[in-house]
Amino acid sequence: MMGITSGNLFRIGELAKAAGISERTIDYYTKLGLISPEKRTLKNYRLYSSETLSTLERINQLKQEKYTLDEIKERLDRWKSVADDSEMTEKLTKLEIQMKQLERDVKELNPLLSELKPSQAREVLANILPKGAACIESLQILLNQFTSM
């Protein structure tokens, strides 16, 4: 196997190894349009960029969160249409995953809170609310920036 080609472009085998997935999976993701080669060599080898490696990491994160490949494609397309900056799309994907996890955690916490004594529930909420309020405030600031544009 050859090393990484010039310009930080990966051949399919190199990309598969770096991402920890099979070449067949890369072919499948390419066919689905989740990823695409940056260019082709004269011998018709597909070359993928380092951004593709980041995209594969986001795909893996979303798969671990039980998103289907169709849902993943929809999210990747949405973030890419908003910003073609891989760092921005990575942060948006992480934020979406964290919000989904938070939503699940809150749903799991509700029945447990109802089993606590009122004083215990108040103490739990007193510890959670300041951080929750700060999170809500951060999201509100983000929303205000978008609505004021």
Query: Can you give the pTM of this predicted structure?
Result: 0.64
| pLDDT, tens digit, 9 for 90 and up, residues 30-87 | 999 999 999 988 898 899 998 899 899 989 988 988 889 999 998 888 877 776 677 7
Banded pLDDT at 1 (limits 50, 70, 90): very low
All domains in the chain, ordered by first residue: 7-84 (1.10.1660.10)
Taken in order 11, 15, 18, 24, the sign of the CA dihedral is negative
Rounded to 5 degrees, φ, ψ at 77 are: -65, -40
Rounded CA gap, 23 and 118, in Å?
A: 56
Question: Position 133: which residue type?
Answer: A
| pLDDT, tens digit, 9 for 90 and up, residues 85-95 | 777 777 877 88
β-partners of residue 5 are: 9
- The token pair that represents 103 in the structure block: 């939503």
DSSP codes of every residue in the chain: ---PBGGGBEEHHHHHHHHTS-HHHHHHHHHHTSS--SEE-TT--EEE-HHHHHHHHHHHHHHHTT--HHHHHHHHHHHHHH---HHHHHHHHHHHHHHHHHHHHHHHHHHHHHHS-HHHHHHHHHHHHHHHHHHHHHHHHHHHHHHT-
